[in-house]
Amino acid sequence: MGTDNSLKMNQTIGEQFKAAREKLHLTQLEVAEKAEISTNYYAQMERDEVNPSVEKVREVKEVLKIKEIKI
C-alpha cells in the first residue's frame, strides 16, 4: 500500500483531508495531536470553516501522507 493518497481535483482541501484521514483509519483527534493543533481547529479545517495558514496545511499534509493538495 502506497503512502500517496489519491485525491480528486474537485474536492476542497477539507474534503481531501477527510478522505486521506479516513483512508489511514485515523480519528480527527489523532490527526490533530500529530499536527499539534486542537481537535476543534482540525475539524473546522475538514469542514472548510477556517482559512488555515500554509504552515498548518503543511503539518496536516505530513500527518496524512498527502504529497500534493489539489485545488
pLDDT in tens, 16-68: 999 999 999 999 999 999 999 999 999 999 999 999 999 999 999 999 999 99
pLDDT of 70 reads: 82
Which pTM value belongs to this model?
Answer: 0.83
Between 11 and 36, the more confident residue is 36
Give the residue among 47, 11, 9 at the shortest CA–CA distance from 28.
47
Q: Report how many domains make up the chain.
A: 1
Whichever domain contains 53, its CATH number is 1.10.260.40
Q: Does some domain include residue 56?
A: yes
Which domain does 50 fall in, by range? 13-64
Q: Kindly calculate the radius of gyration of the chain based on its CA atoms and give it in whole angstroms.
A: 11
Q: Does some domain include residue 3?
A: no
Angle at 10 between CA 40 and CA 21, to 5 degrees: 40
Residue 2, pLDDT > 90, answer no
